[in-house]
Structures are given as C-alpha cells and as structure tokens.
Chains A and B, each alone.
Chain A
Amino acid sequence: MTSHISEHELIRKAQKGDERAFTQLVKHYESLVYSFAYKVCRDSEKANETWQDTFVNVYRKLHQFDGRSKFTTWLYTIVTNNCRMKRRHRKLDLASVSIDSATSVHDHPSTDDDGQPVQTIPSWKETPLDSVMDTELRTILDEAIGELPYDYRVVFALRDIEGLSAEETGKILKLSIPAVKSRLRRARVFLRERLNPYMTL
C-alpha cells in the first residue's frame, strides 16, 4: 500500500465484504499490530492472543470504521482495548513500582568558586546504533518498559515508539491532553532512571 488512496480503497472493498481486500489489510498491518501489542501487553502469548483478537474485531467491526480518524488510530484503539481486557482478567500487571521516584535533578546544584553550577548529573555515552545494540542493553530496555505500570507504558508506546501525537494518543486512550503529557513525562523520567547506570560514562 503506497498511498492513502489505495488504503482507502482497500478498506472500502473490505467493508463491502471483499475477502481478498481484507487479507491484504491483515498482511499490511500485521507487524504493526503485533509489535505494538508485544510492547504494551508484555509477553509473546498475550501479544499473540491480542493480535488475533484485534484482527477478529477488525473483521467484525470494519463497517463501523467511518474514515474520520486514521485507520491506524482505529487499530491502536482496538489493540489497547484488547490488552487492557487481558490485564483485567489476569491481574498480572499491577506493578507496585513507584512512578514518582525522585529524579536526580535538584533545584540548588553545587557551584564552583565563580558561582557557576557544577555538573553533578553524569553525561550519557552516545546511544548505540540499532545494529550494534548489545544483548545486555536490549534486556535492560525490555525489563524497564516491563516495570512501567500499564497506564504509563501504553502512553509511552503510542507517543515515543509509535510516534503518535498527544491528540491522537488522548483520543485512543480517552484521556485529556494534559493527562497524556503528564503520563508521558513520568514514563520518560522513569525509563531514563532505569537506564542511567548503564548509560553513564
């Protein structure tokens, strides 16, 4: 699918019951749905179930998609609803992690003899390119996002990984924009603290 028009056409055909158009939609969006489901649901089994549930929902409810939002926004909404339902059923995701853990930023930093602030927060090394990202770092990234409580993880995934706007994220999660921003800020700070020991020079 190379243009918005062809996607629109494919959706229209699938809505009219064209099975081939539907299977093409699945093929086009299957990785996006799976990858997002994996990040939000947190394990392969749940991601697999969510993936299948999402496309079953898409198949059954495609006639309800009115084209006023982006198709991907609609997909993300279905994925997050499915993930949230699984979390409720299983009660596995109630992380006891405090999201308000103190940051290392202080309002009154040390100063040198000239009264200039002294850097007490260590600089981070350059982030490795994806191709050279080592196993240890991948594990740390994965564990840190897993520790993030669900409500924060889903905001972080939509905004910073999937690249959606605050408006789109708020629409998907039925949250106000200030609520999206607040959760995003806390999630970023939390993840930054988790990576800090590994990334300081």
Chain B
Amino acid sequence: MKKKIAHCSDVLDHICEELDTKLSTAQCRELKRHLAKCPNCTAYLDSLKKTIRLYSSVPVKRPPLKARKQLFAVLKLKG
C-alpha cells in the first residue's frame, strides 16, 4: 500500500482479504485510523465477519449410508 488510505472503498479493498489477520503491520495503521472514525466501514466490516461466521457454522453434511457400500462394491473391496 503505497499511498495513504483516505476512502472507505480503499479500506474495503485492502481489509477484506485480511479479515482474519491481526492488522498489526505498518500498512494497516491507516486502515485502523480510518475504521476508528468511520461508523460505516465499521458496520460493513462487522457484517462481513458475521457473513463468514454464519457460513462456517453450517453443520457438516454426511454422505448417505449407502454411498460407502456402493463405493466398496465398485472397487471390489470388503469394507
């Protein structure tokens, strides 16, 4: 990030891909400064984090019981 970040769209561009990092590098200081005074970016980032949290909390789907039997039959394995 060569230039100073002054706009919300810059914050969005640069911060979205680093949501899971601690934002402690020098290049992130300007982002933090902007966030501290911008309720819109704060609300937006919070909503992005919640989006990710919702998707990652959907339970794991299990394969149907017959799938493993069929697989072992195809491969001629006893299981």
Beta-carbon contacts under 8 Å, B25-46 to A: 37-41, 43-44, 46
Interface size on A, residues (CB 8 A): 59
A interface: dominant SS: helix
| Contact in complex: A141, B58 (CB < 8 Å) | yes
Q: Is B22 an interface residue (CB 8 A)?
A: no
| Contact in complex: A161, B47 (CB < 8 Å) | no
Q: Is A106 an interface residue (CB 8 A)?
A: yes
B interface: dominant SS: helix
Q: Digit string of A107-120 for contact with B (CB within 8 Å is 1, else 0)?
A: 10100000011111
Q: Digit string of A55-75 for contact with B (CB within 8 Å is 1, else 0)?
A: 110010000000000000000
| Contact in complex: B67, A195 (CB < 8 Å) | no
Min CB–CB distance B14 → chain A (angstroms): 9
| Contact in complex: A56, B63 (CB < 8 Å) | no
Residues of B within 8 A of A175 (CB): none
The size class of the interface chain B forms with chain A is 35 or more
Residues of A within 8 A of B46 (CB): 123-124
Residues of B within 8 A of A105 (CB): 8-9, 11-12, 40-41, 44
Residues of B within 8 A of A33 (CB): 63
Count: A-B pairs, CB below 8 Å: 142
Given A31-B63, A130-B57, A185-B13, is A52 in contact with B74 using a C-beta cutoff of 8 Å?
Answer: yes
- A98–B48 alpha-carbon span in the complex (Å): 19
Q: Is B62 an interface residue (CB 8 A)?
A: yes
Residue in B closest to A52 when the chains form the complex, CB atoms: B71
Residue in B closest to A140 when the chains form the complex, CB atoms: B54
Residues of B within 8 A of A184 (CB): 16-17
Residues of A within 8 A of B11 (CB): 105
Q: Is A188 an interface residue (CB 8 A)?
A: yes
Beta-carbon contacts under 8 Å, A114-149 to B: 116-124, 126-127, 129-130, 133, 137-138, 141, 145
Given contacts A107-B8, A117-B37, A121-B44, 7 further A-B contacts (CB under 8 A): A31-B60, A51-B63, A105-B40, A133-B57, A141-B54, A191-B51, A192-B44
A interface residues (Cβ-Cβ under 8 A, vs B): 19, 22-23, 26-27, 30-35, 38, 47-48, 51-52, 55-56, 59, 103-107, 109, 116-124, 126-127, 129-130, 133, 137-138, 141, 145, 156, 160-161, 163, 166, 181-182, 184-185, 188-189, 191-192, 195-196, 199
8 contacts between A and B (CB under 8 A): A19-B78, A34-B67, A55-B71, A105-B11, A105-B12, A156-B55, A192-B47, A192-B51
